[in-house]
A and B are shown apart, each in its own frame.
Chain A
Amino acid sequence: EPEVTQTPSHQVTQMGQEVILRCVPISNHLYFYWYRQILGQKVEFLVSFYNNEISEKSEIFDDQFSVERPDGSNFTLKIRSTKLEDSAMYFCASSEGSAHEQYFGPGTRLTVT
C-alpha cells in the first residue's frame, strides 16, 4: 500500500541553525501539506502546496519557513533560523485531489536546543 515517507525521523539542531525536513508524498497525489504537533498540543496546519506553489498558509508559517518541490518526488520544509519553540513533530501529508482525504507520513521529530 502506498504511503507517505519522511526523513529524518528525528532531527536535533541548535537554535539559529537551518533545517530541512524531507517528505516523499504518495506518487499520484497532487496536493501536499505540512502540519506540526507540539508535544501535548493539537495538530496544526502550516501550509498547503499545489501545482508548484503555495495555495494556503497559516499564521504560523512566517518568513522563516519555506517549502519546495525540488524534483518529481520530494517535498521539503525548510526552517531558516530555528527557535526553541519550533521543537515539535512535523507531519507531511498528501492527497490525490480531495482535501478531506489527506494521508499523513510518520513525522519528523525536531528538537531545537
Chain B
Amino acid sequence: QKEVEQDPGPLSVPEGAIVSLNCTYSNSAFQYFMWYRQYSRKGPELLMYTYSSGNKEDGRFTAQVDKSSKYISLFIRDSQPSDSATYLCAMSLGGSQGNLIFGKGTKLSVKP
C-alpha cells in the first residue's frame, strides 16, 4: 500500500466553483499535513499546513484533516483561472523527522 495516495486528475472546473482536493494516507504516525501548489516547471509553493486533526482557513483556501479516516482535503472557494496548477499534498512525522512524503499531485484547471 502506497503511503500517500492522491487522485492525479485532471480536474476541470468553471471559474467561481468550489474545488475539493483530497489525499489518503496509510501511516497513522503522520503529524503535519501540508498543501503545496506547483505551476508547470516550477518548484512547489507552500500554501498551508495543519497539525494533527482539524480545519485551517486562509483566505479562499480551507484545509481539513481527519486522522481517524486518514483523509485530508483542501477546499478552494471562488476558484480563479490563476488557481490552475498541480496541487500536492505532503505529510511528515514531525519532531526530528524533516522529510516530506508527497502525493502525486492533482492537476487543476479553472476555466474562465
Chain A residues packing against B (C-beta within 8 Å): 4, 31, 33, 35, 41-45, 48, 55-56, 58, 89, 91, 95, 99-107, 109
Could you tell me the distance between the alpha carbons of A20 and B46 in the complex, rounded to whole angstroms?
26
Across the interface, name the chain A residue whose C-beta is closest to B42: A106
Query: B46 contacts A101, CB within 8 Å?
Result: yes
Main secondary structure of the interface of A (DSSP, over half): strand
Residues of B within 8 A of A106 (CB): 42-43
Count of interface residues, chain B, beta-carbon cutoff 8 Å: 26
Query: B34 contacts A45, CB within 8 Å?
Result: no
- From A31, A44, A89, A105, B98 is in contact (CB under 8 Å) with A31
Some 17 contacts from A to B, beta carbons below 8 A apart, are: A31-B98, A43-B88, A45-B101, A48-B99, A91-B43, A95-B98, A99-B32, A99-B98, A99-B99, A100-B34, A100-B49, A100-B100, A101-B49, A103-B46, A105-B43, A107-B41, A109-B41
Bits for B16-34, please: 1 = Cβ < 8 Å to A, else 0.
0000000000000000101
Could you tell me the distance between the alpha carbons of A104 and B101 in the complex, rounded to whole angstroms?
14
Residues of B within 8 A of A4 (CB): 43
Could you tell me the distance between the alpha carbons of A16 and B34 in the complex, rounded to whole angstroms?
37
